[in-house]
A and B are shown apart, each in its own frame.
Chain A
Amino acid sequence: EVQLLESGGGLAQPGGSLRLSCAASGFTFSSYAMSWVRQAPGKGLEWVSLIGDNGDFTNYADSVKGRFTISRDNSRDTLYLQMNSLRAEDTAVYYCTKDLNGYPPHFFDYWGQGSLVTVSS
């Protein structure tokens, strides 16, 4: 059974940092691209970032480019999102997602339960 378990969310001050983790199990982690998708309270979905299966390719939404860094450790089956220079508008539930296939296009067939990040002073 595929499982994605996010952790690391919480309260951060504006300008601060947080690192989210997503522990994956039930599939060959190193064979799939992974993404982070966020959802602000009461709002829709926003794709944040994607990383290729071996980490050689990354892409970001303009809203987080230069502030967030996606990475992965295939030896630990874990995905990360380092979030720096946090802003109030980064407040959201952050979901970890798995690609449907081991190649594009990037449909998301499994989602974690989400980790809430709140940016407030």
Chain B
Amino acid sequence: EIVMTQSPATLSVSPGERATLSCRASQSVSSNLAWYQQKPGQAPRLLIYGASTRATGIPARFSASGSGTEFTLTISSLQSEDFAVYYCQQVSHWPLTFGGGTKVEIK
């Protein structure tokens, strides 16, 4: 099983600042990686797929990069609605696996 490790577990950021989230895979997943955002009481929402492609309707302040085992999600200027938990997921190998999540909270 591929283990996805996200860091940090919690990120405290002020509105308007930049946030950088990391995701590491225990073995290469090529570009078969997604990022999801989840707000309290809501289902997750697809932000990024193919490691760097924004899903429909996702604002340009969300960007992502990486391939192989190292991935990054960047939120260029945090808005109030961006404070949430973010998960990465690899879809390269069975079983499909998620990272433990990074909570982005207001500083």
**Residues on A facing B (Cβ under 8 Å):** 35, 37, 44-47, 50, 59-62, 95, 100, 104-109, 111-114
Contact A47 B43 (CB under 8 A): no
Q: Identify A104's interface contact among B46, B56, B91, B99, CB under 8 A.
A: B91
Instruction: Tell me the smallest distance from the CB of B64 to a CB of chain A, in Å.
Output: 13
| 1/0 contact string of B28-50 vs chain A (CB within 8 Å) | 00001010101000011110011
Q: How far is the CA of A47 from the CA of B97 in the complex (A)?
A: 6
Q: Identify B89's interface contact among A45, A50, A114, CB under 8 A.
A: A45
Instruction: Tell me the smallest distance from the CB of B97 to a CB of chain A, in Å.
Output: 7
Residue among B43, B94, B95, B100 having the largest count of chain A Cβ atoms under 10 Å: B43
Contact A44 B101 (CB under 8 A): yes
Interface size class on chain B is 20 to 34
Contact B98 A46 (CB under 8 A): yes
Q: Identify B43's interface contact among A46, A50, A106, A111, CB under 8 A.
A: A111
Contact A44 B46 (CB under 8 A): no
- Chain B interface, >50% SS class: loop
Contact B96 A111 (CB under 8 A): no
Q: Identify B34's interface contact among A44, A95, A108, A111, CB under 8 A.
A: A108
List of A residues within 8 angstroms of B100 by Cβ: 44
Q: Does B92 interact with chain A (Cβ within 8 Å)?
A: yes
List of B residues within 8 angstroms of A37 by Cβ: 44
Contact A106 B95 (CB under 8 A): no
Instruction: Tell me the smallest distance from the CB of B31 to a CB of chain A, in Å.
Output: 9
Closest 4 interchain pairs by CB?
A: A111-B43, A107-B49, A47-B96, A105-B91
Instruction: Tell me the smallest distance from the CB of A1 to a CB of chain B, in Å.
Output: 13
